[in-house]
Amino acid sequence: MMAGEKKMDGARFAQLVLSGHARMRMLVLSIAPGCQDVDDIVQEACAAMWQKIDDYDADRKFLPWALAFVRFQTLAWLKSKGRDRLRFDDGLVDRLCQAIASDGEAEGARTEALELCLEGLSESDRELMALRYVDGMKVAEIAQKTAKQNAGRSATSADSLYKTFAKLKASLLRCVRSRMEETGHVAS
Amino acid sequence: MSLPEKVELLWRRANETDDAEAFAQLEDLIAEDEQAFRAYVDLMWMESHLPFANSLVKLGCDAGQPVASEALSRPAGESKAAWSGTLVAIAAVVLALLTLTAILSSGDGEDAGSVAQSVPLEVGAKDESLAGDGAEPERKVAFSNLAHPPKVGGVSGGVLVDEEPVPETISFNFHVRSILSENCFYCHGPDPNHREADLRLDTEEGLLNAVEPESPEDSELIARIFSDDQDMQMPPHYSGRSLTRRQKAILSRWVEQGAKFEQHWAFMAPQKPAIPDVKNGDWAKNPIDRFVLAKLESKSIKPSPRAKATVIVRRLHLDLIGIPPRPEQSRAFVTAYQADADKAIDELVDRLLASEHFGERMAMPWLDVARYSDSNGFQQDGDRSQWPWRDWVVRAFNANMPFDQFTIEQLAGDLLEKPTQDQLIATGFNRNHMLNGEGGAIAEEQRNNYVFDRVDATATTWLGLTMACAQCHDHKYDPITQEDYYKFFAYFNNVDEKGNVDRKVGRQQCAKPYIQMPTDSQSDELKRIDGKIAPLNRELADSDQEITKAMRRWEIEAREATPESMGRDLFNILVKDLSERSKGEDNRLKGWFLEHAASQRWRDLKKQQVRLQGARRRVQEQILTVMVMRERKQPRETFVLQRGNYETRGRQVTTGVPSFLPRGNVDEGSTRLDLARWLVSEENPLTSRVVVNRFWQLFFGIGIVKTAEDFGVQAELPSHRQLLDWLAVEFRESGWDVKQLVRKIVTSETYLQTSKFRKDLAEIDPENRLLARSPRYRLPSMLIRDSALLVSGLLNAEVGGKPVYPWQPDRLWKEFSLEKFGYRPSQGNDRYRRGLYTFWRRTVPPPNMFDSANRQTCTVKQARTNTPLHALTLLNDPTFVETACFLAADVMANGGEGAAARSWVQDAFARAVGRDASQSELESLVRAFDQSHDFYESAPEQAKAFLAVADAVAIPADGEKLSNLAALASACQVIMNTDEFMTRE
């Protein structure tokens, strides 16, 4: 049933999975907008990778190899959900895979930059971001919530909240870019 | 609209509404326009990385409260739990990685277990989504769980069994289940959220998926456990668990013999077994002995001879009433024993069972079980007065109340028809839990915590089940579902309480429901006051119209010229227009008017009324208030609480007993009284076993089932399973007669053996589970103190009543309570009451009662540790110093004129240890006396300082008397610190 001795030990594999985890999620989000099962897909992909780990050529980069599994798993998911019509053209998916894999190079520096940029935001902006991205609330829900808190005063509409988020993200992006340039990374 | 905004808008529409048109537009845009493509990649990067940004995650956790309270519905994939679950998964992988690296580098299979154990991980328990068929590294996490550390080696009833031959006939219950439970159930057990490969090995059906009866070679389970291949091997190498050769052979033979499945032994009703035949029938005094002897004979071990008469009398006294015999009692027994040993024992046991101290001794472990305390716990730790409940327990044991009644009255006395005051007090059992009166505490959360505590205490005490595990998820080992838990919860969820503190008087804090128990004089006083108030009330009420008129007139003046003694809030009422005042406000103003501004006659009336009301309140506050159980009129609904959180309600449930146990005639929606009756019904396989096991533990140090708190499948197997069942059935059939059970145990030859250590058993039976001798262990610290008090002659043996405050280090309470509680030691002989009556503050228990249960949650097993602090306490704690001094003074006073060191020491020894000192013991003690005497003769100030510790001892003026007394007191300290004094021999 199970394979015999693996070429790679589990610890090394875990390390690699961990370092590429966010990028794997990124790929799922990119080619399957609206997907609610991101974690499951990534997990299944990881299981498949482990099964095939002996095929992996340790001299080559791990992320592109791993993303191929994620891609396959995501497409399988789309199919299983009958979302075939919501499927990007293969060529576009190729390009996305490449883009995600290639600027995975500077992943560490980029996340660090994001961290610093987030710390530059105001407390209330950060809280807003946390509501959406950490607590997983929908923008409409956040709008309702703030409406409740500000009872009587003008409620924030979901639309204007979206704009706020877009602005915040744009400024974060600028910030990350400039930090990357400062630290000598090529702008992406 | 900028390009990135356009990209995001399209993505959003595609995202949220599965909008095919938006999707197609998005695809066109990013496929055609390089910049849009970049913007899309950037957006995706943000969306996938923001949830993991540390600076947000920290915030998200802190700010969790308002979100949680909103109860908004979220798709599972986007919920906070899922996000943090993912984070946890990542953390878990990292930690698993560390563990693995450590294991690999150690290169030693045996170390693997300890390394896995040492990882401080709650992760595995928290994140159940990990359990899937995921990648190998994630699975490792499941085992790194401190709540379920691996056990070592094959142990059955405390006896190492690895050396033993594999039994001819394998029983699932007694050979197989413990192996599977310990090594497999964590991943292949009852909890579906944590099950690997969809395989469960705790049911017959599940087992048949892995086992081919009668052919081990075709059984996956057998192949896996014998496999050398790390990827095949079960249990997995990283679990820290491994099977011994013997265990593997047992499993294999079990399959060979047909893989017969049996329900867990403790979940099947006990049947009275036949009393076994033994070769040495003369040795056996009663059936207990035959069960014990049969097992010994099967291993060719001979039991030990009887203990000496002096030891027997002391043992019985300490075990049955908790204080040692006085020398004359001991001598009388020895004489009677020489004439007719069995008769002497029977008579002594009868006398002790009839003693009023029997109830105290039996109450000691029951108070630990019931988490009894004189304070509420938590930071405030206010006082409570539940001691009438404690006295109820003592009385119940003394009256030999049948254990079924004892159970019913404590769990549901309030639901009996016309309950007596005693039956209400009995229900204090489930109000003994801690009580949180802190300002910030959320009442409903606390209330739920109290109910959790009742479930845990009740299930542990009567069912021997670790029910608490099922508060958040289905039990990992036992077939207790989360729904079972909340059905049980429902029985205790309807108490008429809010979760806050309702009555505060000084340090006292208690919560409804409670009863009040005025003394006769308090009742009389209340009646007297009421008698005086009534006419005043009447007169004031009769004149109310007149008074109101006068008041309105006064108000007009008062607004102009406000009296200076009037407070601001009253003034605010005064200036309000009549129509704006509430009735209460108007009455307050009237009260003030009557007391200060009305005519003399009314003023006098009012003042008298106020004075009497104050007196009434003061009496009222002094009345003893005892928390009890009482149901709400409007029943509370009970829901399964997801992850045990009172805010996340799942489906609704009604009351019911655990579904895997025979329900008898208890239906859904039954009452707490039905539950209590079910617990002691014939159908219930657990209560009788669990209870006799605890009595056994009391007299033999270890239960027949060592895990007295757990009779589930993780329980250690009983050392004498037939004996346990025999005792259980006998106990129930006797009408739950506690004294009869105790008599049976303590008059058995097994109990009466000498406790002398046997070298020949050191290897075979290090814990003395086979009972080839009587056990020998240190007395509970509470009893060492009681013994010292009795032996010295200081003991105040009064039974029952308010807790007392014996000596303890100055400022101890203050230090631990942020200066809140001062400690005033009791005066007079209240300081010499038995330990049972010492005031028990949860946050600062009495410091000289080491190894005591913490009295915060239900505790069924006493700790027995051994640290230098214990020896230092017994030597230096003023209570112990005082008893030594008092014993010395008493011995000298009774020794008569002309007595000298030798006879004093002899007397003191006999009094303390209950036998005459041997020649060599006497020589050493006299030498110790002489040395101390020399010292104190040259240092009389030291002698005075030493004796001054003992308040009860007068310091002799005469120099020779002084040094004699101090020297003898030192010798007494030596005696009272001998092994024999503090050990149950």
CA distance B398 to chain A (A): 59
If asked whether residues A15 and A84 sit together in one domain, one would say yes
Q: Which residues of B touch A9 (CB under 8 A)?
A: 100, 104
Q: What is the pLDDT of residue B307?
A: 97
Query: Which residues 95-114 on chain A approach chain B with CB closer than 8 angstroms?
Result: 95-96, 99-100, 103, 110-111, 114
For B245, other C-beta atoms within 10 Å of its C-beta total 10
Q: What is the pLDDT of residue B889?
A: 95
**Residue B223, H or E segment:** helix B220-226
Rounded to whole angstroms, the Cα distance separating B667 from B235 reads 41
Find how far residue A8's CA is from the centre of its chain.
26
Q: Which residues of A touch B232 (CB under 8 A)?
A: 1-2
Structure tokens at B617: 């309140």
The pLDDT-based confidence of A48 (bands split at 50, 70, 90) is confident
- Nearest by CB to residue A134, choosing from B57, B134, B229, is B57
A91 interfacial to chain B (CB closer than 8 Å): yes
Rg value, chain B, Cα: 35
Find how far residue B274's CA is from the centre of its chain.
36
Structure tokens at B331: 């001598």
Are the Cβ atoms of B137 and A96 closer than 8 angstroms?
no
Residue A3 in domain:
no
Residue A29 in domain:
yes
- Nearest by CB to residue A4, choosing from B57, B136, B231, is B231
If asked whether residues A84 and A124 sit together in one domain, one would say no
Residue A116 in domain:
yes
Rounded to whole angstroms, the Cα distance separating B873 from B906 reads 25
Residue A97 in domain:
yes
Q: What is the pLDDT of residue B17?
A: 65
Percent of chain A with pLDDT over 70: 87
Question: For chain B (length 985 residues), average pLDDT per consecutive 10?
Answer: 82 75 85 88 88 69 34 35 43 42 37 33 32 35 42 46 71 84 85 81 85 86 85 81 86 88 89 94 95 95 96 97 95 96 97 98 97 92 95 98 98 97 97 88 92 96 93 86 95 94 89 95 95 91 86 84 78 83 86 85 88 91 95 94 90 93 87 97 96 97 95 89 96 98 98 95 91 95 96 96 92 81 89 96 91 89 87 93 96 83 94 93 95 95 94 91 96 95 94
- CATH number at A141 reads 1.10.10
Residue A41 in domain:
yes
Inter-axis angle of helices A90-102 and B34-49, to 10 degrees? 60
A94 interfacial to chain B (CB closer than 8 Å): no
Q: How far from each other are the two terminal CA atoms of chain B, in whole angstroms?
A: 90
- Nearest by CB to residue A22, choosing from B38, B52, B59, is B52
Q: Which of A57, A67, A76, A73 is nearest to A94 (CA)?
A: A67
Q: What is the pLDDT of residue B743?
A: 98
Comparing B818 with A33, the larger pLDDT belongs to A33
If asked whether residues A14 and A98 sit together in one domain, one would say yes
The backbone torsions φ and ψ at residue B650, rounded to the nearest 5 degrees and listed phi first, read -100, -140
Residue to mutate among A135, A162, A168, A172, with most B CBs inside 10 A, is A135
Minimum Cα–Cα distance from B91: chain A residue:
A18
Residue-number span of the structural domain to which A28 is assigned: 10-102
CA distance A46 to chain B (A): 6
CA distance A76 to chain B (A): 17
Q: Which residues of B touch A103 (CB under 8 A)?
A: 41
- Nearest by CB to residue A89, choosing from B31, B41, B78, is B31
If asked whether residues A23 and A91 sit together in one domain, one would say yes
pLDDT at A181 over 90: no
Domain boundary pick from A58, A80, A102: A102
Rounded to whole angstroms, the Cα distance separating B179 from B372 reads 37
> Would you give the DSSP letter of residue B375?
B
Domain boundary pick from A34, A69, A102: A102
Q: What is the pLDDT of residue B50?
A: 86
Q: Which amino acid is residue B309, in one-letter code?
A: A
Rounded to 5°, angle at Cα B740 from B737 and B745: 125
Locus of tokens 């017959």: B204
Residue to mutate among A134, A139, A186, with most B CBs inside 10 A, is A134
Rounded to 5°, angle at Cα B618 from B617 and B620: 60
Are the Cβ atoms of A92 and B30 closer than 8 angstroms?
yes
Are the Cβ atoms of B82 and A136 closer than 8 angstroms?
yes
If asked whether residues A28 and A95 sit together in one domain, one would say yes
- Once rounded to an integer, what is the mean pLDDT over residues A25-54? 87
Q: Which amino acid is residue B342, in one-letter code?
A: D
If asked whether residues A88 and A68 sit together in one domain, one would say yes
- Nearest by CB to residue A21, choosing from B43, B54, B90, is B90
Query: Which residues 132-171 on chain A approach chain B with CB closer than 8 angstroms?
Result: 133-138, 141, 145, 162, 166, 169-170
Q: Which residues of B touch A95 (CB under 8 A)?
A: 37
Q: Which residues of B touch A4 (CB under 8 A)?
A: 229, 231
Q: What is the pLDDT of residue B227?
A: 85
Residue A141 in domain:
yes
CA distance B6 to chain A (A): 10
The backbone torsions φ and ψ at residue B649, rounded to the nearest 5 degrees and listed phi first, read -85, 135
The pLDDT-based confidence of A10 (bands split at 50, 70, 90) is confident
Q: Which residues of B touch A6 (CB under 8 A)?
A: 231
Rounded to whole angstroms, the Cα distance separating A103 from A110 reads 9
Structure tokens at B839: 């005031």
By DSSP bridging, strand B159-160 and strand B508-510 are unpaired
Count up the domains in chain A and report the number: 2
- Nearest by CB to residue A86, choosing from B20, B76, B129, is B20
Our CA dihedral for B277, B281, B284, B290, rounded to 10 degrees, sits at: -10
Rounded to whole angstroms, the Cα distance separating B882 from B949 reads 6
ipTM of the complex: 0.91
- Nearest by CB to residue B48, choosing from A22, A95, A162, is A22
Domain boundary pick from A67, A102, A137: A102
If asked whether residues A37 and A113 sit together in one domain, one would say no
Query: Which residues 47-76 on chain A approach chain B with CB closer than 8 angstroms?
Result: 47, 49-50
Q: Which amino acid is residue B307, in one-letter code?
A: A
Q: Which of B660, B640, B636 is nearest to B648 (CA)?
A: B640
If asked whether residues A48 and A74 sit together in one domain, one would say yes
Contact of B781 with B851, CB cutoff 8 Å: yes
Are the Cβ atoms of B55 and A36 closer than 8 angstroms?
no
- CATH number at A29 reads 1.10.1740.10
If asked whether residues A115 and A96 sit together in one domain, one would say no
Residue A138 in domain:
yes
Minimum Cα–Cα distance from B46: chain A residue:
A169
- Nearest by CB to residue B27, choosing from A50, A92, A115, is A92
Are the Cβ atoms of B51 and A86 closer than 8 angstroms?
no
Minimum Cα–Cα distance from A81: chain B residue:
B18
If asked whether residues A87 and A114 sit together in one domain, one would say no
Q: Which residues of A touch B78 (CB under 8 A)?
A: 36, 136, 138
Minimum Cα–Cα distance from B35: chain A residue:
A188
By DSSP bridging, strand B514-517 and strand B508-510 are unpaired
Minimum Cα–Cα distance from B76: chain A residue:
A36
Q: What is the pLDDT of residue A105?
A: 65
The conformational region for residue B384 under phi > 0 = left, psi -120 to 50 = alpha, else beta, is: beta
- Which segments of B680-768 does DSSP mark as H helices, in order? 687-700, 721-733, 738-746, 749-752
CA distance A41 to chain B (A): 11
For B557, other C-beta atoms within 10 Å of its C-beta total 11
> Would you give the DSSP letter of residue B708?
T
If asked whether residues A32 and A96 sit together in one domain, one would say yes
Contact of B655 with B668, CB cutoff 8 Å: yes
Contact of B246 with B179, CB cutoff 8 Å: no
If asked whether residues A94 and A45 sit together in one domain, one would say yes
Find how far residue A86's CA is from the centre of its chain.
19
pLDDT at A152 over 60: no
Burial annotation B470-508 (CB, 10 A radius, 16+ → b, else e): bbbbbbbbbbbbbbbbbbbbbbbbbbebebbbeeebeeb
Residue A5 in domain:
no
Secondary structure of residue B306 in the 3-state scheme: strand
Rounded to whole angstroms, the Cα distance separating B764 from B244 reads 18
Cis peptide bond N-terminal to B149, omega within 30: no
